[in-house]
Amino acid sequence: MSIFVNGETRLCVQGITGRDGAFHTKEMIDYGTNVVCGVTPGKSGQSVHGVPVFDTMADAVRETGANASITFVPARFAAPAIIEAAEAGVDLVVAISEGIPTLDVAKVYQRLSELGTRMIGPNCPGVISPGKAKVGIMPGWIHAPGPVGVVSRSGTLTYEVVDQLRRNGLGQSTVLGIGGDPIIGTNFIDALTAYGTDPQTEVVVLIGEIGGTDEEQAAQFVTEHLDKPVVSFIAGRTAPPGKRMGHAGAIIAGGKGTAQEKIKALNEAGIPVADRPSDIPGLIAAALGRK
């Protein structure tokens, strides 16, 4: 199995006629994702890579039965686009868009909570269940089906870790980039909960970074609720306090959110922390009792 996306995913691409939307639509189709429609206001009747385009999400869902969307929409329009998708009835919105104001994301989070729609992101690479569906911008070729679930706040670091897994014969059940903004739709605990009930997932790789307390909360959740092994990596060990590194949420403030604090919490929960990404396959082998 997998979490969040699979062969039953019927995807709608919001912003499909733009440069990025069109490019990644083709990439997702080539991977095997069932892209059934796109939405760009004023472009109804057009098609992109054979995918029909609609003016609104309501029209697109009604005509195609789409149950998920991905947004390639400029930041100033992204919040209403995400809400439009949820109100049209999709179960999942993957928000690739970056730079969405935090207050806008807070409003989106509240509305989607009321509607029961899951959001992944914003400012994330998306989600892939290898061999089933790719809903995002990650390079599909580095992934392979297998028993390892991956959840990460970092996009490019996720690709590095997945490549290390593939090179060591470790395929993935689902790889999920949750994004590193201060407010996100799906967090570590949400992902760990889903992996905990997924029969394909035997072990989880948690990739964190400086800033906030999400990793510490995840460590506590693993201790209390998860009976599958977890291994981890924390980026930003040498980051200076008060300086944002990469993501908007990756900042050490008031002495909180340091890599050292996160590593300590993870170790206390029995979660081994790799010194470098190349060490992760060995930690997984140890966790699974393999040589």
Q: How far is CA 157 from the centre of its chain?
A: 13
Average pLDDT score, the chain? 92
* CATH of the domain spanning 11-120: 3.40.50.720
10 Å Cβ neighbour count for 224?
A: 8
Residue 187 neighbours by CB under 8 Å, 6+ apart: 178, 214
| pLDDT, position 236 | 66
Cα(138)–Cα(87) distance, integer angstroms: 27
Active-site annotation holds for 49: no
CATH topology match: 11-120 vs 138-287:
yes
What are the pLDDT digits (tens) for 117-158?
999 999 999 999 999 999 999 999 999 999 999 999 988 899
| pLDDT, position 288 | 86
Domain layout of the chain by residue ranges: 11-120, 138-287
Domain formed by 138-287, architecture: 3-Layer(aba) Sandwich (3.40)
Active-site residue, selected from the candidate residues 24, 49, 225, 247: 247
What are the pLDDT digits (tens) for 220-278?
999 999 999 999 999 866 555 555 555 544 444 444 578 888 999 999 999 999 999 99
The answer, as to whether pTM is greater than 0.85, is yes
Residue 291 has pLDDT above 80, yes or no: no
Q: Are 159 and 141 in contact (CB under 8 A)?
A: no
Proportion of the chain above pLDDT 90, given as a percent:
85
What are the pLDDT digits (tens) for 191-200?
999 999 999 9
Tell me the backbone φ, ψ of residue 184, rounded to 5 degrees. Answer: -130, 160
